[in-house]
């Protein structure tokens, strides 16, 4: 997408699609969409206006629309669906695979998703509601209900006949495993399809299945699933309810994807984009409002730390050079603390530390904090001395930075553990908590020390 040829291609595709939509020309619109690969489809949809998207989906059949929805990112699909009236949107939603449908519905506003659920067929609506009830990051949220199962009393021959008869549907499911169920739908075993290669036609399903398979529950976390996939060479995992009945399948890929998504979200949260994700194709009001809601929290935190400076105005007035060092102390301590935050977050996510191991983290971080604080303090304190030719000023600046770096590194290392222990999300809250603490403490240290040494500074 970076070289000029493909950019020209893309622009001509966008033009063609745009014109087809204006002329209500379904076949050209479809043809253009079929030419585009997934990335291009996502970009095409991103660049269409809201009205164009509505018209386009008016032209498409439920199957064709569902195919477009499956090719774009799920949050783009949610935007499209929100733009349509519920009765127009529902047929497209109905044609999606169960896991894609749940992803998309979860991204909608409560009101929109309820309206669409009411338009769906009862059985689809029921299943969708049930899957939507599972929180993000659990097996229930990523499982799908399209699987192949056989009764325990079927012979290999009967199974092979069934496979031949339903070949096309099963291939679409991407089947590697089939499931052997009892009379009450309880899961008896897993049947790797390739086992059928080595079986005689008279054998029963129960003879060639793997009995007592590893199963998971719908509320198991994605991290727990990943641990199972790491340990075993499974491609899929059956999800059972409390009665042992098969309710869905998890595959390895969607587990890894869910974890990847969580990692990307962590990055966005750190940068203050919480809640629903922003694309530049969204309306200005939405984009500006979402960003302001996060900034307003920062305003309050900033005022708290700035009040420390306000309280020490006399000292600052007497030694105006200190004002130069306030932003440096704030920024450097923030950087040092954030490094410790990152190490803690990483060790937590790798499960190399438990949220209770405060002592270990404190011991390990305080030593790094003291060393790095001493280095930075000597450097910046030395520069302050050279600049103003006042050794006491250097001492005040250097000591404040050294102590505050130590505090920042320890707080940075411990905050993610504390948040995790309180079941809060470390990615979202660690940064603001850290900077507020380090700013307040840093300003207090430099201005407090300066007040004490005031006779030598003026």
| Positions 321 through 350 that interact with a copy of itself (CB under 8 A) | 321, 323-328, 330-332, 335-336, 338-339, 341-343, 345-347, 349-350
383 SS3 class:
helix
Q: What angle do CA 30, 36, 38 make, to 5 degrees?
A: 110
Nearer to a copy of itself by C-beta: 26 or 166? 166
Nearer to a copy of itself by C-beta: 372 or 390? 372
The residue to which tokens 């935007």 are assigned: 79
Q: Is 395 in the site for a copy of itself (CB under 8 A)?
A: no
The interface with a copy of itself within residues 17-76 (CB under 8 A) comprises: 37-39, 42-43, 46, 73
| Other CB atoms within 10 Å distance of the CB of residue 97 | 15
Q: Is 291 in the site for a copy of itself (CB under 8 A)?
A: yes
Nearer to a copy of itself by C-beta: 132 or 414? 414
The interface with a copy of itself within residues 174-193 (CB under 8 A) comprises: 174, 176, 193
Sole binder of a copy of itself in the list 164, 184, 243, 455 (CB under 8 A): 164
End-to-end CA distance of the chain: 61
Nearer to a copy of itself by C-beta: 129 or 388? 388
Nearer to a copy of itself by C-beta: 20 or 353? 353
Rg (CA), the chain: 30
Helix 252-270 vs helix 222-231: angle between axes, to the nearest 10 degrees? 130
Q: Is 284 in the site for a copy of itself (CB under 8 A)?
A: yes
Rounded Cα distance, 53 and 46, in Å? 9
**Contact of 249 with 174, CB cutoff 8 Å:** no
CB of 334 to a copy of itself, least distance (A): 9
CB of 212 to a copy of itself, least distance (A): 18
Sole binder of a copy of itself in the list 147, 294, 358, 385 (CB under 8 A): 294
Rounded Cα distance, 80 and 458, in Å? 66
| Other CB atoms within 10 Å distance of the CB of residue 169 | 11
183 SS3 class:
coil
As to burial, measured by CB atoms within 10 angstroms (0-12 exposed, 13-18 middle, 19+ buried), residue 54 is: middle
- The site map against a copy of itself for 251-270 (x = CB under 8 A) is -xx--xx-xx--xx-xxx-x
Nearer to a copy of itself by C-beta: 7 or 109? 7
CB of 252 to a copy of itself, least distance (A): 6
Sole binder of a copy of itself in the list 94, 115, 163, 378 (CB under 8 A): 163
Nearer to a copy of itself by C-beta: 91 or 192? 192
| Other CB atoms within 10 Å distance of the CB of residue 271 | 9
Q: Which residues, including other chains, have CB under 8 Å from residue 273's CB and lie 6 or more apart? A: 290, 291, 294
Q: Is 439 in the site for a copy of itself (CB under 8 A)?
A: yes
Nearer to a copy of itself by C-beta: 133 or 323? 323
| Other CB atoms within 10 Å distance of the CB of residue 359 | 8
The residue to which tokens 């998890």 are assigned: 250
* Nearest alpha carbon to residue 237 among 247, 226, 249, 253: 249
CB of 171 to a copy of itself, least distance (A): 9
Nearer to a copy of itself by C-beta: 26 or 155? 155
Q: Is 408 in the site for a copy of itself (CB under 8 A)?
A: no
The interface with a copy of itself within residues 346-385 (CB under 8 A) comprises: 346-347, 349-356, 360-361, 364, 367-368, 371-372, 375-376, 379-380, 383
Q: Is 115 in the site for a copy of itself (CB under 8 A)?
A: no
Nearer to a copy of itself by C-beta: 183 or 320? 320
Q: Is 275 in the site for a copy of itself (CB under 8 A)?
A: no
CB of 87 to a copy of itself, least distance (A): 30
Sole binder of a copy of itself in the list 298, 382, 385, 425 (CB under 8 A): 298
Alpha helices in 84-198 (DSSP H): 86-94, 98-107, 110-119, 122-132, 139-142, 156-165, 167-173
Alpha helices in 271-357 (DSSP H): 284-311, 313-318, 322-349
| Other CB atoms within 10 Å distance of the CB of residue 89 | 23
How many residues contact a copy of itself, by CB under 8 A? 108
Nearer to a copy of itself by C-beta: 90 or 332? 332
Q: Is 438 in the site for a copy of itself (CB under 8 A)?
A: no
């Amino acid at each position: 997408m970076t070289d000029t040829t493909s950019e020209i291609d893309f622009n001509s595709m966008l033009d063609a699609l745009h014109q087809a939509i204006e002329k209500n020309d379904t076949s050209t619109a479809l043809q253009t969409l079929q030419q585009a690969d997934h990335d291009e489809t996502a970009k095409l949809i991103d660049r269409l206006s809201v009205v164009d998207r509505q018209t386009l989906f008016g032209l498409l059949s439920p199957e064709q629309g569902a195919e477009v929805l499956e090719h774009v990112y799920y949050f783009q699909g949610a935007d499209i669906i929100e733009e349509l009236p519920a009765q127009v949107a529902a047929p497209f939603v109905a044609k999606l695979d169960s896991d894609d449908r749940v992803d998309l519905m979860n991204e909608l506003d409560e009101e929109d998703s309820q309206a669409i659920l009411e338009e769906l067929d009862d059985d689809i609506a029921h299943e969708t509601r049930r899957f939507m009830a599972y929180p993000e990051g659990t097996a229930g949220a990523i499982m799908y209900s399209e699987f192949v199962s056989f009764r325990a009393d079927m012979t290999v021959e009967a199974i092979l006949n069934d496979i031949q008869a339903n070949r096309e549907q099963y291939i679409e499911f991407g089947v590697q495993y089939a499931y052997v169920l009892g009379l009450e739908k309880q899961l008896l075993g897993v049947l790797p399809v390739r086992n059928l290669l080595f079986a005689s036609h008279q054998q029963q399903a129960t003879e060639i299945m793997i009995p007592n398979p590893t199963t998971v529950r719908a509320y198991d976390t994605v991290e727990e699933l990943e641990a199972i996939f790491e340990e075993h060479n499974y491609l899929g995992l059956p999800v059972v309810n409390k009665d042992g009945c098969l309710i869905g399948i998890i595959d390895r890929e969607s587990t890894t994807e869910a974890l990847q998504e969580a990692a990307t979200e962590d990055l966005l949260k750190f940068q203050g984009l919480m809640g629903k994700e922003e694309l530049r194709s969204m309306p200005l009001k939405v984009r500006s409002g979402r960003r302001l809601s996060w900034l307003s929290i920062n305003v309050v935190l900033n005022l708290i730390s700035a009040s420390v400076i306000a309280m020490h105005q006399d000292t600052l007035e007497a030694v105006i050079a200190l004002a130069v060092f306030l932003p440096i102390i704030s920024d450097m301590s923030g950087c040092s603390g954030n490094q410790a935050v990152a190490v803690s977050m990483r060790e937590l996510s790798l499960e190399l530390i438990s949220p209770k191991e405060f002592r270990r983290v404190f011991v390990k971080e305080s030593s790094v904090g003291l060393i790095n604080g001493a280095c930075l303090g000597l450097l910046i304190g030395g520069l302050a001395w050279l600049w103003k030719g006042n050794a006491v000023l250097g001492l005040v600046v250097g000591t404040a930075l050294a102590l505050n770096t130590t505090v920042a590194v320890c707080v940075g290392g411990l905050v993610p553990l504390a948040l995790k222990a309180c079941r809060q999300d470390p990615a979202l809250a660690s940064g603001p908590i850290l900077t507020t603490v380090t700013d307040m403490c840093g300003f207090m240290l430099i201005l407090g020390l300066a007040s004490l040494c005031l006779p030598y500074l003026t």
